[in-house]
C-alpha cells in the first residue's frame, strides 16, 4: 500500500472512532448529501431484478442500508482499506447472509456492478498527479470486478475557487469521461447537473 493510502486509511479510521457508523464517520456533511450521491450512482444499476454489487470504499456499509431501504434486492460486497470500517460493517450486518465485507480486493468476486462514493475526495497532502494515478488504478480494479457496469463520483475542478481545500482532490470530469470511454466502454454518462460540488460518471458495459 502506498504512503498516500496509508495516510487516508488512518484519517478514516480516526473519523470512525470519533463519530461511529454514521455519515460523519465516513466524512459526509449530512445524511442528505450522502444519499443524494447514492441516488446518482445507482443510476447505473438495473434494479428490476436481484443483482450483486461491489461497494468500493464502502466504509461501514451505508450504501447497503440505503439500497435495502429503497427496496433493492442484492448481494452486497463492501471493500475498504480501513480494517476498522470493515469490522464495524461485519458487526452491523453479522446476521445478514447477503452482506459481505473485505479489506482485501482479492477477496471480492466479480459482481454485476461496482460503485464508489466519496472515496477519491480525500487526498490529504498527496500530490495531484500521484493521487490521479491512484484513482485510475482504482477504476481499473472496479472495472475488473464489474460485469455490467460501474459508477463513481468525485469533487469537481469546477468548484468555486474560494471553497476549494488543499487536502481534497478536485477531479477533471472531462479527463475521466474521456478515460472511461477509451479504456472501459463506449457507453459512458457524465452527470454534472445536480446541486453538489461534484460529478458522477456511469460506465455501462
Cα–Cα distance for residue pair 198/205, rounded to 1 Å: 23
Whether the per-residue pLDDT at 23 is higher than 60: the answer is no
pLDDT at 14: 56
pLDDT at 162: 83
Give the up-direction half-sphere exposure of residue 79: CA atoms within 13 A in the CB hemisphere: 20
Whether the per-residue pLDDT at 2 is higher than 70: the answer is no
Residue 94, judged by CB atoms within 10 A of its CB (0-12, 13-18, 19+), counts as exposed
Enter the pTM of the model. Answer: 0.86
159 vs 203, more confident: 203
Q: Which among 4, 3, 1, 2 is positioned nearest to 167, based on CA atoms?
A: 4
Whether the per-residue pLDDT at 71 is higher than 70: the answer is yes
Whether the per-residue pLDDT at 20 is higher than 70: the answer is no
Do the strands 187-191 and 99-102 form a parallel or antiparallel pair, or are they unpaired? unpaired
pLDDT at 29: 55
pLDDT at 16: 44
Residue with cell 442484492: 74
Q: Which among 85, 89, 39 is positioned nearest to 66, based on CA atoms?
A: 39
Cα–Cα distance for residue pair 57/45, rounded to 1 Å: 18
Whether the per-residue pLDDT at 50 is higher than 80: the answer is yes
pLDDT at 124: 76
Enter the C-alpha cell of residue 59. Answer: 466504509
Where would I find the H helices in 70-194?
Answer: 83-92, 128-144, 173-183
Whether the per-residue pLDDT at 28 is higher than 60: the answer is no
Whether the per-residue pLDDT at 85 is higher than 80: the answer is yes
Whether the per-residue pLDDT at 22 is higher than 60: the answer is no
Q: List, for residues 118-171, the tens digit of each pLDDT value.
A: 899 988 788 899 999 999 999 999 999 999 999 999 999 998 888 888 889 999
126: Cβ contacts below 8 Å, ≥ 6 apart: 4, 7, 134, 169
pLDDT at 3: 65
Q: List, for residues 90-131, the tens digit of each pLDDT value.
A: 999 999 999 999 999 999 999 999 999 989 998 878 889 999
Q: Which domains are delineated in the chain?
A: 3-204 (3.40.50.150)
pLDDT at 1: 52
Amino acid at each position: 500500500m502506498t504512503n498516500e493510502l496509508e495516510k487516508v486509511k488512518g484519517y478514516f479510521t480516526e473519523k470512525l472512532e470519533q463519530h461511529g457508523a454514521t455519515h460523519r464517520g465516513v466524512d459526509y456533511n449530512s445524511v442528505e448529501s450522502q444519499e443524494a450521491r447514492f441516488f446518482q450512482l445507482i443510476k447505473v444499476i438495473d434494479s428490476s431484478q436481484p443483482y450483486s454489487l461491489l461497494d468500493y470504499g464502502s466504509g461501514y456499509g451505508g450504501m447497503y442500508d440505503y439500497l435495502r431501504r429503497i427496496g433493492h434486492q442484492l448481494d452486497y460486497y463492501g471493500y475498504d482499506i480501513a480494517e476498522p470500517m470493515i469490522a464495524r460493517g461485519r458487526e452491523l450486518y453479522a446476521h445478514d447472509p447477503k452482506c459481505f465485507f473485505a479489506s482485501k480486493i482479492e477477496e471480492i468476486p466479480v459482481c454485476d456492478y461496482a460503485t464508489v462514493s466519496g472515496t477519491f475526495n480525500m487526498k490529504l497532502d498527496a500530490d495531484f498527479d500521484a493521487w490521479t494515478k491512484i484513482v485510475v488504478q482504482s477504476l481499473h480494479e472496479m472495472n475488473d470486478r464489474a460485469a455490467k457496469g460501474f459508477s463513481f463520483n468525485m469533487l469537481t475542478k469546477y468548484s468555486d475557487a474560494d471553497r476549494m481545500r488543499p487536502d481534497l482532490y478536485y477531479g477533471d470530469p472531462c479527463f475521466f469521461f474521456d478515460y472511461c470511454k477509451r479504456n472501459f466502454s463506449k457507453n459512458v454518462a457524465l452527470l454534472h447537473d445536480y446541486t453538489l460540488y461534484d460529478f458522477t460518471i456511469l460506465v455501462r458495459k
